[in-house]
Amino acid sequence: MTEKQTRTLNEGAYKAGDGQYIFELGDLDGMLTGKKYSTAFGPVVEGLRTQVGLMRKEKGTGARPHSHPNEQWNYVVKGRLRVTIDGEEQVVGPGTLLYFPPNVIHCTVAEPDEDVYFFVVKDLTHSIQGNLAGGEPEEHLLKSSG
């Protein structure tokens, strides 16, 4: 198993390079990637210019509206996700690739019938964490109304 390195932008992430080139994502420790606004949890690996991860959102949970200064890609591997990007909402499933431009407010919530797994890619101009839209975080995380 790959050991965590200390030279990462995100505390708890793994660092690629310097002999670390192959990562079994299912065997790596995960981290909460949207503290105080999202239930997304999974391992994060950082390269020189990008950070990637395999995230899980438990059924019926997800992220409250937020943004981040770095661009992001999500590829849905399993489950169905209710996605809102810049005010446009759609439910997507496995095989869907989502693009979140920098500083655009978005949110994603797992449908209530099953957990969602997605592969995330972000550039390293900012951490994996985003910024909650509209003020301070509430005590609870967004739940699906479906």
pLDDT, tens only, 110-146: 999 999 999 999 999 999 998 899 765 444 444 544 4
Question: Per residue in 73-118, pLDDT tens?
Answer: 999 999 999 999 999 999 999 999 999 999 999 999 999 999 999 9
Question: Per residue in 2-28, pLDDT tens?
Answer: 555 558 999 999 999 989 999 999 999
Cα–Cα distance measured from residue 142 to residue 45, given in angstroms and rounded to the nearest whole number: 26
Q: State pTM to two decimals.
A: 0.87
Q: What is the pLDDT of residue 5?
A: 52
- DSSP track, 4-62: PPS--SSTT-EE-BTTB----GGGSPPEESSTTTB--EE-EEE-SSEEEEEEEE-TTBB
- CATH code: domain 14-132 is 2.60.120.10
User: Could you state, in order of their start, the residue ranges of all structural domains in the chain?
Assistant: 14-132
Cα dihedral sign for 116, 61, 72, 97?
positive
Q: In what order do the strands lie in the sheet with 81-85?
A: 88-92, 81-85, 106-110, 66-67, 131-132
Q: What is the pLDDT of residue 7?
A: 83
Q: What is the pLDDT of residue 58?
A: 98
**Which of 102, 54, 104 has its CA nearest to residue 79?**
54
Choice between 45 and 35, residue whose per-residue pLDDT is larger: 45
Q: What is the pLDDT of residue 79?
A: 98
